A and B are shown apart, each in its own frame.
Chain A
């Protein structure tokens, strides 16, 4: 039973398209995170939020943007997708330390 949901699970999209990756959690966690992970590589933090209307950039420079207007929802948007954005995007949430991860979105930009 998943308490944090990501959609879509897989996405293939053309260069230049705008896309939004959805992430929702039902646990009431105030902290949420987006990580990017290339195959066989480590997770890199790209955005995080500690509550409604609070968002920060992570360690990895990213051309994506996020919003947090509801506690349970933390979408990530790419205004103009490029092949370099091809990766897996993982959403996570937490109360304090330690995350619960969503299933991820595997994005391919062609």
Chain B
């Protein structure tokens, strides 16, 4: 089975940097994904990590350590529109399905 943990809620200030952590336990590993989901909307893809290290994409970066079962999503220069839930998801061995964490609700305040 798979188990994914991430904080339930976080609050950060506009213009600041925030790091959202995700730990996972999985039987086999084919990659870790981060999605953004605004209230009432469908998730949208942010990043994909399959090898250890940092992947940078504009204001968003994602880090993976497979040996520690750990990932984080880093959001820089926070904007009000970044207020959303951020979902960590893992693909296990021999499977294309994603198992999602409960999501971290980020509130960006002025």
A-side residues, CB < 8 A to B, are 31, 33, 35, 40-43, 45, 48, 50, 58-59, 90, 94, 96-104, 106
Closest 7 CB pairs of A and B: A101-B42, A42-B102, A43-B100, A42-B100, A97-B31, A104-B42, A97-B91
Contact-size category for B: 20 to 34
B-side residues, CB < 8 A to A, are 30-31, 33, 40-45, 48, 50, 87, 91, 96-103, 105
Q: Find chain B residues with CB under 8 A from A45 CB.
A: 97-99
Interface contacts (Cβ under 8 Å), in number, total 51
- Which of B45, B99, B102, B105 makes the CB contact (< 8 A) with A99? B45
CA distance A35 to B37 in the complex (A): 14
Contact residues of A: prevailing secondary structure: loop
How far in angstroms is the closest Cβ of chain B from A93? 11
Q: Find chain B residues with CB under 8 A from A90 CB.
A: 42-43
Q: Find chain B residues with CB under 8 A from A58 CB.
A: 97
A96 touching B96 by the CB < 8 A rule? yes
- Which of A43, A50, A102 makes the CB contact (< 8 A) with B87? A43
Q: Find chain A residues with CB under 8 A from B99 CB.
A: 45, 59
How far in angstroms is the closest Cβ of chain A from B105? 8
CA distance A98 to B82 in the complex (A): 21
How far in angstroms is the closest Cβ of chain B from A105? 10
How far in angstroms is the closest Cβ of chain B from A30? 10
